[in-house]
Amino acid sequence: MQADKKDIRALSKEQLRDFFVTNGDKAFRGNQIYEWLWSKSAHSFENMTNVSKETRAMLEANFVINHVKVDTMQRSEDGTVKNAVRLHDDLIVESVLIPTKTRTTACVSSQVGCSLDCNFCATARLKRMRNLTPGEIYDQVVAIDNESKLYYDRPLSNIVFMGMGEPLMNYPNVMKAIDMITSNEGLGMSPKRITVSTSGVSKMIKKMADDDVKFNLAVSLHSAIEATRNEIMPFTKSFPLTELREALEYWYAKTKNKITYEYVVWKDINDDKASIDALVKFCKYVPCKVNLIEYNAIDDGDFQQASEQATKDYITALERNNIVVKVRKSRGKDIDAACGQLANKS
């Protein structure tokens, strides 16, 4: 039975080397298999062509490779591609390829569903079913890299952890996946091209700073007023803004890496002067920039995109205070691939 066999990608390179030594083979064999599993992204032992039949049979008897499979792929009229990715236990997560003139970005999921309860996000409705393994996160990236080469003639250039789930609630697996994505034994991508987005789990932001990570941090702020934030993102009652601020100061002191705040401006929620002033004030604590994200409606009357004037007022106030601000247009809306729309609809 497959079910009692261990997923071979849960083993470190050392453990794989030890496995072969224990079984009367050379430690070197472990390196060879490790390369197949990660940098060559083998889906099955059968594909490991330079490995003897006996070794392949032995691996087959002991392990499985819980590789993901792209179940369906949708292409948006703006070139965005959304993959519904089937996991070994038949659960589905979504990942998105976002092409621009100069880059191809992969937006990947870290959990099936989400642990958090942001009222404006479709993924939150799914609840958290389980954490993704490092291999499952890695596979999403490889799938998008291949699609990028196929459709856009260039490899993937950036990765954002902005798909389903809260990456900092699956910290060890996200870290292991990033290790493999950045390692020369995996994809060899620069951590500077990776952004982890969190809704603001303060304790884990500090942990990340302590772990001396080299990737970028984005925080989904949406309001710098405690009561408003608590209302639209109820879990933040356990993660108050004072703690978030302190964690971000800690992050910057250790990493010297600017933070990006993600922020949606909604009608009657945060489109007033007090909200703008609060954001400007919050932005002064730590070097940062602000991405104003367009709201993607998720059939919920409570949230509506604010007027263009409100967005302009934010931009004016931020720029007057020398804070870099960019407006991010939605991509892939027609296929439910935009921020906050990932909910396994198809």
Residues with active-site annotation: 94, 339
Interface of this chain with ligand SAH, residues 129 to 188, rule: CB under 6 A:
162, 166
Tell me if 262 is assigned to a ligand binding site.
no
CA distance 310 to 272: 8
Q: At closest approach, how far in Å is the CB of 265 from ligand SAH?
A: 10
Tell me if 296 is assigned to a ligand binding site.
yes
Under the binding rule (CB under 6 A), the answer on residue 105 touching ligand SAH is: no
Taking CB under 6 A as the rule, which mask of x and - marks residues 260-299 in contact with ligand SAH? --x-x----------------------------x-xx-x-
Interface of this chain with ligand SAH, residues 112 to 131, rule: CB under 6 A:
118, 120-121
Q: Which residues contact 329 (CB under 8 A, 6 or more apart)?
A: 294
CA distance 135 to 11: 11
Pick the closest to residue 194 from 209, 180, 182, 176 (CA basis).
Answer: 182
Tell me if 223 is assigned to a ligand binding site.
no
Interface of this chain with ligand SAH, residues 215 to 244, rule: CB under 6 A:
220
Among residues 66 and 198, whose Cβ is nearest to ligand SAH? 198
How far CA 14 is from CA of 10, 37, 132, 135, in Å, comes to 11, 14, 22, 17
Residue 11 dihedral angles phi and psi, to the nearest 5°: -85, 140
Both structure tokens of 253: 């002191």
Interface of this chain with ligand SAH, residues 309 to 328, rule: CB under 6 A:
none
Among residues 162 and 248, whose Cβ is nearest to ligand SAH? 162
Q: Can you list the pairs that 143-149 forms with residues at least 24 positions away whose Cβ atoms lie under 8 Å?
A: 143/68, 143/70, 143/83, 143/85, 143/95, 144/81, 144/83, 144/95, 144/96, 144/97, 144/104, 144/106, 144/108, 145/106, 145/187, 147/73, 147/81, 147/83, 147/97, 148/97, 148/99, 148/104, 148/106
Tell me if 185 is assigned to a ligand binding site.
no
Q: At closest approach, how far in Å is the CB of 208 from ligand SAH?
A: 14
Q: At closest approach, how far in Å is the CB of 40 from ligand SAH?
A: 30
Among residues 64 and 122, whose Cβ is nearest to ligand SAH? 122
Both structure tokens of 99: 């092409």
Tell me if 107 is assigned to a ligand binding site.
no
Pick the closest to residue 337 from 198, 171, 160 (CA basis).
Answer: 160
Are 289 and 252 within 8 A, CB to CB? no
CA atoms within 13 A on the CB side of 229: 23
Among residues 147 and 166, whose Cβ is nearest to ligand SAH? 166
Pick the closest to residue 142 from 113, 172, 166, 106 (CA basis).
Answer: 106
Taking CB under 6 A as the rule, which mask of x and - marks residues 49-88 in contact with ligand SAH? ----------------------------------------
Strand blocks (E) in 122-186:
130-131, 158-161
Chain position whose Cβ is nearest to ligand SAH: 340
Q: At closest approach, how far in Å is the CB of 266 from ligand SAH?
A: 9
Among residues 141 and 264, whose Cβ is nearest to ligand SAH? 264
Tell me if 288 is assigned to a ligand binding site.
no
Q: At closest approach, how far in Å is the CB of 15 from ligand SAH?
A: 31
Interface of this chain with ligand SAH, residues 181 to 220, rule: CB under 6 A:
197-199, 220
Are 326 and 292 within 8 A, CB to CB? yes
Among residues 139 and 262, whose Cβ is nearest to ligand SAH? 262
CA distance 264 to 6: 43
Contact positions vs ligand SAH (CB under 6 A): 118, 120-121, 162, 166, 197-199, 220, 262, 264, 293, 295-296, 298, 339-340
* Binding-site annotation, residues: 114, 118, 121, 165-166, 197, 220-222, 296
* Binding-site annotation, residues for [4Fe-4S] cluster: 114, 118, 121
* Binding-site annotation, residues for S-adenosyl-L-methionine: 165-166, 197, 220-222, 296
